[in-house]
Amino acid sequence: MPRWLAHILVVALVAAGIGLALVRAEYVWNWALVWEYRQRFLQGFGVTIVLSLAALVVSTLVGIVAALLLGSKHALLEAMGRVYVEVIRGTPLLVQLLLGFYVVANAVGLENRYVVGVLVLSLFSGAYMAEIFRGGLAAIPRTQRDSARAIGLTPWQSHRLVILPQAVRIVLPAVAGQFVSLVKDSSLLSVIAVSEFTLAAQEVNSFTYSTLESYLPLAAGYLLLTLPLSALSRLLERRFQYET
């Protein structure tokens, strides 16, 4: 069976299962009412895209800095990186958002909830990025650094010409996967009233009492963003598959 046919078959089976469950629940659909709020959905979708893109860039930078801290020979710097990564990865994003917005941002006088949202999301995702980057650097054999030194490269040249080009290829699939998580995690920004996609669905639901009609488009919208990222991740994985 060709792969695309298998995919369609599985999707059809899952859809049929969900459809059957809905029929048994005797759910009364009211799409017309929700359709009137389509502008609110589109606006939320747009905000989610912009926030995700911003967090994607900032979290990559945060991840690079934290990975450098993790790899530092200086005990204090290494400890800073380690504590950051463990605390962030060990606590819920929900708590980080609430603390970040109502306590930290409030204390430093940062009022723009969109900026705070992007920062907290970036710090959250950056901790995962840091481990991905650190692992990528660690995966490069010692002899590569030896070879770079042996031909007389400076440490900076050795990173630029030898280590980083290889590390980037190693981490790209994992980074693309992390971006998928980041897009979905941005839904939690609704708890600090950032007017993004999930908050839009929550609002429409509370106006119309049409729960499924509000949340099914939400799921479809996230898939629209995450499926291309997953596809990109698999593509990169295939493209850079060369062994040493």
One-letter amino acid of 44: G
* 239 forms part of the interface with another protein (CB under 8 A): no
Contact with another protein (CB under 8 A) among 53, 58, 64, 153: 153
Smaller CB separation from another protein, 135 or 211: 135
Stretch that binds another protein, among 50-58, 98-106, 124-132, 163-171 (CB under 8 A): 163-171
HEC sequence for 115-144: HHHHHHHHHHHHHHHHHHHHHHHHCCCHHH
* 147 forms part of the interface with another protein (CB under 8 A): yes
3-state secondary structure of 211: helix
Maximum alpha-carbon separation in the chain: 74
How far apart CA 171 and CA 177 sit, in angstroms, is: 10
C-alpha of 71 from chain center? 23
* 144 forms part of the interface with another protein (CB under 8 A): yes
Smaller CB separation from another protein, 166 or 181: 166
Element spanning 92, H or E: none
Distances (CA, A) of 233 to 126, 132, 135, 171, 194: 18, 14, 17, 10, 29
Contact with another protein (CB under 8 A) among 139, 157, 228, 234: 157
One-letter amino acid of 31: W
How far apart CA 1 and CA 28 sit, in angstroms, is: 38
Stretch that binds another protein, among 39-47, 107-115, 128-136, 148-156 (CB under 8 A): 148-156
CB of 156 to another protein, least distance (A): 11
Smaller CB separation from another protein, 106 or 143: 143
How far apart CA 178 and CA 167 sit, in angstroms, is: 16
Stretch that binds another protein, among 23-31, 37-45, 139-147, 176-184 (CB under 8 A): 139-147
Considering only residues 169 to 188 of the shown chain, the ones binding another protein according to CB under 8 A are: 169
CB-facing half-sphere around the CA of 37: CA atoms within 13 A: 26
Contact with another protein (CB under 8 A) among 24, 76, 152, 238: 152
Smaller CB separation from another protein, 47 or 172: 172
Smaller CB separation from another protein, 39 or 244: 244
* 72 forms part of the interface with another protein (CB under 8 A): no
Q: Binding residues for another protein, per CB under 8 A?
A: 141, 143-144, 146-154, 157, 161-162, 165-166, 169, 242-244
